[in-house]
Chains A and B, each alone.
Chain A
Amino acid sequence: MLRRTMLQLLGGGAAALATRTAAWAAATPGARSEDEFFIFIHAAGGWDVTLWADPRHERVGLIEPASTDNTEIAGLARWTSVALDGDTETFAPLASSDSKLVLGPGIGALYDLRDRLTIINGLAMNTVSHPDGTVYSATGRHLAGGRAPASSVDVAIANERGTGQMLPAVAIQFPSSFVGEALDRRSIPLRVASAATIAKSLSRSPAYLDSSDRAAITAVLSAETNALAARSVYPGTYERIASQLAAQPLLVGGELEKAFTQKALQDAYPMFDYKSKSQAAGALSAAFTAEAMRRNVVRSVGFALGGLDTHNQNYKQHARTLQDLFGVIATLQGVLDATPHPTRSASKLADHTHILVFSEFCRTPQINLAGGRDHYPNNSALVISPRFRGGVAFGKTDAEQLLPADAKTFADGARPIAPPDLLATFLHAFDIEPRRYLRDGEVVPELLR
């Protein structure tokens, strides 16, 4: 809270603070959703929730907490040691009088934004497979025959709110899936392995053809595509290509290409740690996200922050990796706090940007023989959104086994919360009918403002 308040005061004084707070609070379901922005982050590998969302610092049942025996604590800014057993020390959970949240040290710099965090614990994953857990978290459905049977949440958002944008959905190593005939083809995610690839694909040599030549080429291709669409029994495919061709002159070889190069992004957003051991690529993705939203060319960006799959001695670095991961998110949120919204003159980007962070599952409560933690069918997720209640944790796990426990009585009875519920709630927050995209799931009003 203090950090945010400081940023706000630096940014525009007490009057601006009052306006921002009002804008944040007023952004309730039913408000205008056309120029909202969305960020989806996949914490790839499976995170240890006992180090942040669902902190455990005692040996209870199966639970072997993070300790100086299994965790490298050097560099952990939020780790405060307390005795566990003999010379072994564990961490003191982070708690503050201004928040109901109790978090672990892995949360790092994001702890400063605790009044804006919505944490969902005890997500029932019913899987310990990386691909399956990833798809389940992103689509609300398990894999069917190795394929995602439904569109991912970023595609749903792009389909509903992003088709007017130049790049409706960008997926940088994010598990986006586009499934179904009813969706607008413009919401097909632009999948790339790195943010730098986007600028490279848009780049053109100035030595031979120039922009007017390329415009002439695109005009020929558009005319040919439209002619084929007019003659085709199935014009939809050609119409999709025609719309994608129409966007080329705006994208290729112009200002955007220069703005999205790796160097330009790093120069424009020096606050990210591009030399981070575990999150350097993610930092570049975050910088691209901020720049693309500032320029109002995207609606949804999904990217991955990784390095969490720690089955052996590499688990010692897990807490540090989490800290770096949440550090990228905290820095990104700070950038959004300071950046004006491209179409709402009185707002900052943060007032209309909604972040959903998930992983594919969590890690076992016990330490394995190799010194790491394996896959476990429980999970947590994080939302930072003006439409969600901040400073709350919803859902729970049992004390001894870290397995999902009943969160509330849903329409089908008492049960733990699951990814389809979270995704349905997320879509509902933006006036999108969840059943258009999700087979399962129930809106959880307790999460919403």
Chain B
Amino acid sequence: MRAGALVLALAACGPAVIAPSATQPLPPHRELAVDTTPKQRPRMMPAEVYLRAYMMWFGGLAPLEVQARARGRQLFDAWDDYLAALGLPDYRIDLPRQTQSNTLMLAAFGRLGEALCVRAVEHDLHDARTPPDQRVVFAFEPIARPSEAQFDERFDVLHRGFLGYPAALAPADRAKRYYALFTQVAAHHPAKPKTPLTGEETAWAAVCAALIQHPETGLY
């Protein structure tokens, strides 16, 4: 007992001396690459967003204005017919929102897109030749039989409008595909077509319809 008390007393009286150690440099920062890979599969845009975008692209129209403009020549009829097919919920009949695309939905969006593109061509390029600053979709000056470069310049306007970025940043063969579509449709329609549009106007409508239905338009 006494010996223990003595050891404790000695320990308390004589503090241990700790020799200073040499400083060590901090380890260097490791460079980590930022992982920018997507962490989630692409998702379908809610139908409301899609439809809102349609209306904005075509001049900020209200739904009933779109319906009125798209009607005629069997292009479109009424929104009510397509609400479920487009993926919108209908709470009157407990029909929930569609979260996945399906064949019929693509067909319904295709019908709507074709109607709006044709009407946009009529407004911007056909009838009274709307001044460029008042064109809502085809905000460029069309030329007859455009070369690939001339087409690309005009295609870029549509690409920026519908997909939100320059065509130059898209995969390299995209513009070529759309140019091939343009030339094919333009050549397919005769010089004096029965349709109200010329061959090249119809071709621009086809390019528009193929852009508005592009998968990048409906996914995020």
Measured CB to CB, the residues of A under 8 A from B are 130-131, 134, 147, 166-167, 173, 175, 178, 185, 188-194, 196-198, 200-210, 212-214, 216-217, 220-221, 223-225, 227-228, 231-234, 236-238, 240-241, 244-245, 247-248, 251-252, 304
B141 at the interface (CB under 8 A from A): no
9 nearest A-B residue pairs (beta carbon): A234-B41, A193-B84, A201-B108, A190-B104, A207-B73, A205-B74, A217-B210, A205-B75, A244-B103
B61 at the interface (CB under 8 A from A): no
Report B91 CB to chain A, min CB distance, Å. Answer: 10
What 0/1 pattern do residues 151 to 166 of B give for CB contact below 8 A with A? Answer: 0000000000000000
Report B27 CB to chain A, min CB distance, Å. Answer: 33
Contact count A vs B, C-beta below 8 Å: 161
If A197-B82, A213-B185, A237-B42 touch, does A208 touch B195 (CB 8 Å cutoff)? Answer: yes
What CA separation (Å) do A173 and B85 show in the bound complex? 11
**Contacting pair A207 B74 (CB below 8 A):** yes
**Contacting pair B85 A201 (CB below 8 A):** yes
B213 at the interface (CB under 8 A from A): yes
If A200-B77, A200-B81, A209-B205 touch, does A223 touch B177 (CB 8 Å cutoff)? Answer: yes
B178 partner residues in chain A, CB cutoff 8 A: 220
A248 partner residues in chain B, CB cutoff 8 A: 103, 106-107, 110
B145 at the interface (CB under 8 A from A): no
B137 at the interface (CB under 8 A from A): no
CB < 8 Å: which of B40, B102, B174, B177 contacts A188? B102
B195 partner residues in chain A, CB cutoff 8 A: 207-208
**Contacting pair A220 B210 (CB below 8 A):** yes
Report B46 CB to chain A, min CB distance, Å. Answer: 15
B132 at the interface (CB under 8 A from A): no
- Residue of A217, A223, A228, A244 ringed by the most chain B CB atoms within 10 A: A217
What CA separation (Å) do A225 and B215 show in the bound complex? 6
B21 at the interface (CB under 8 A from A): no
**Contacting pair B171 A231 (CB below 8 A):** yes
- Residue of B84, B104, B205 ringed by the most chain A CB atoms within 10 A: B104
- Residue of A198, A220, A244, A304 ringed by the most chain B CB atoms within 10 A: A220
What CA separation (Å) do A147 and B96 show in the bound complex? 9
What CA separation (Å) do A335 and B110 show in the bound complex? 34
Measured CB to CB, the residues of B under 8 A from A are 37-38, 40-43, 73-75, 77, 81-85, 90, 93-96, 98, 100-108, 110-111, 114-115, 118, 171, 173-174, 177-178, 180-181, 184-185, 188, 195-197, 202, 205-206, 209-210, 213-216, 219
A225 partner residues in chain B, CB cutoff 8 A: 215
**Contacting pair B206 A224 (CB below 8 A):** no
What CA separation (Å) do A166 and B184 show in the bound complex? 28
**Contacting pair A224 B209 (CB below 8 A):** no
CB < 8 Å: which of B98, B180, B215 contacts A228? B215
20 pairs of residues in contact across A and B, judged by CB atoms under 8 Å: A147-B96, A173-B93, A193-B83, A197-B84, A198-B85, A201-B107, A201-B111, A203-B111, A205-B118, A207-B73, A207-B195, A208-B202, A212-B188, A217-B210, A228-B215, A233-B38, A234-B41, A234-B42, A237-B43, A238-B42
What CA separation (Å) do A167 and B96 show in the bound complex? 20
B101 partner residues in chain A, CB cutoff 8 A: 188, 240-241, 244
Report A86 CB to chain B, min CB distance, Å. Answer: 42
B215 partner residues in chain A, CB cutoff 8 A: 221, 224-225, 228, 238, 241
**Contacting pair A247 B81 (CB below 8 A):** no
A131 partner residues in chain B, CB cutoff 8 A: 94
What CA separation (Å) do A204 and B117 show in the bound complex? 13
Closest to A360 in B: B94
If A134-B94, A197-B82 touch, does A209 touch B214 (CB 8 Å cutoff)? Answer: no
What CA separation (Å) do A314 and B185 show in the bound complex? 58
Closest to B208 in A: A217
What CA separation (Å) do A251 and B96 show in the bound complex? 25
CB < 8 Å: which of A185, A194, A220 contacts B177? A220
What CA separation (Å) do A221 and B210 show in the bound complex? 6
- Residue of A131, A190, A201 ringed by the most chain B CB atoms within 10 A: A201
Extra contacts besides A200-B111, A204-B111, A244-B103 (18): CB < 8 Å: A130-B94, A131-B94, A185-B100, A188-B101, A193-B95, A196-B81, A200-B81, A201-B82, A205-B115, A221-B214, A223-B177, A227-B173, A227-B174, A231-B171, A234-B40, A238-B42, A238-B215, A240-B100
